[in-house]
Amino acid sequence: MNKTTLYLPPDLHQAVKEAARRTRRSQAAVVREALEQYLRTLEQPRLRSLGMGADPGLTGRNSEDWLARHWARSLTRRTRR
């Protein structure tokens, strides 16, 4: 594990201290868990397989046409909401 120094505003520092006391864990453990949870929210969503299984006639040669037709429909539905 690497050691680092953080500068926290007084209210955040107090909140970390209180959370550590309530959960009977170290302040470092509380901060690590909070950072891990936050960083998971920043992960890039993975694309689903594009058209995989949706059209047995889909090939590499016609994939751009397929995407244009299907994404255009999907985008039109989203903008109408």
Taking a C-beta distance cutoff of 8 angstroms, is the pair 27, 15 a contact?
no
User: What does the domain layout of the chain look like in residue ranges?
Assistant: 10-41
Query: What is the rounded distance in angstroms from the CA atom of residue 33 to the CA atom of residue 8?
Result: 16
In the prediction, which pLDDT does 3 show?
Answer: 94
**Global pTM value:** 0.53
- Confidence band of 1 (pLDDT split at 50, 70, 90): very high
pLDDT tens digits, 15-74? 999 999 999 999 999 999 999 999 999 887 776 665 556 667 777 788 888 888 877 766
- Confidence band of 75 (pLDDT split at 50, 70, 90): low
Provide the token pair at 1.
Answer: 């594990």
Strand, coil or helix: 81:
coil
In degrees and rounded to multiples of 5, residue 13 shows phi and psi of -60, -45
